[in-house]
């Protein structure tokens, strides 16, 4: 089964993201690591080689939450927003703890939004929290530009 890895970029404006259009596509043989063929993890850096990401924000799902991929984006002059799931257990646990049990100083600098939707026979509650208190992350990962 073939999978397609697509890339779309956004450019930063003063207070919003502006879609910059579809920039590239690579076919992969698997969505995850494999000994045969190309996987998403190996296809993403290859695709980034072809793209000019200067000034763009590159978003990638949890599969692409890899240090080497983040470094390549930074090296090419872009910024990134990578999804974080349990496959990065140490970092995932640290971030979860930061949001679930924030220090009082962190809590004061957190923003929160919530939506509730009803449809498809269920009620969906979506929560988003934003923290600008990331000194703890910088201490644990000094090479990161956060």
Chain segment 69-99, per-residue pLDDT in tens: 888 998 999 888 878 888 777 888 888 888 8
88 located within any domain: no
17 located within any domain: yes
Which 8-state DSSP code applies to residue 116?
E
**In this predicted structure, what is the pLDDT of residue 9?**
53
For residue 86, give both structure tokens. 């349990």
Rounded to an integer, the average pLDDT of 44-52 is 82
Residue 77 vs residue 2, higher pLDDT: 77
22 located within any domain: yes
106 located within any domain: no
**In this predicted structure, what is the pLDDT of residue 115?**
93
**In this predicted structure, what is the pLDDT of residue 3?**
46
Q: 70 is in which domain, residue-wise? A: 3-83
How far is residue 120 from each of residues 1, 95, 115, 116, measured CA to CA in Å?
30, 31, 16, 13
pTM above 0.75, yes or no: no
23 located within any domain: yes
Q: Which residue has the tokens 């979860």?
A: 96
How would residue 145 be classed by pLDDT, with cut points 50, 70 and 90? low
What span, in angstroms and rounded, lies between the C-alpha atoms of 92 and 84?
Answer: 6
41 located within any domain: yes
Structural domains counted in the chain = 1
Residue 100, beta-bridge partner list: none
11 located within any domain: yes
Which residues, 6+ apart, have CB-to-CB distance to 140 below 8 Å? 94
In the chain the first and final C-alpha atoms are separated, in Å, by: 38
121 located within any domain: no
Nearest C-alpha neighbor of 54 from the set 113, 11, 94, 117? 11
């Amino acid at each position: 089964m073939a999978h397609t890895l697509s890339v779309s970029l956004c450019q930063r404006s003063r207070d919003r993201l502006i879609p910059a259009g579809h920039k590239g596509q690579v076919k992969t043989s698997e969505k995850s690591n494999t000994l045969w063929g190309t996987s998403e993890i190996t296809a993403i850096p290859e695709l980034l080689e072809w793209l000019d990401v200067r000034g763009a924000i590159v978003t990638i799902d949890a599969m692409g939450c890899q240090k080497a991929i983040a470094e390549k984006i930074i090296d090419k002059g872009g910024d990134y927003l990578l999804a974080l799931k349990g496959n990065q257990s140490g970092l995932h646990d640290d971030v979860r703890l930061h949001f679930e049990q924030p220090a009082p100083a962190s809590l004061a600098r957190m923003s929160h939004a919530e939506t509730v939707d009803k449809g498809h026979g269920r009620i969906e509650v979506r929560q988003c929290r934003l923290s600008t208190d990331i000194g703890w992350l910088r201490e644990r990962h000094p090479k990161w530009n956060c």
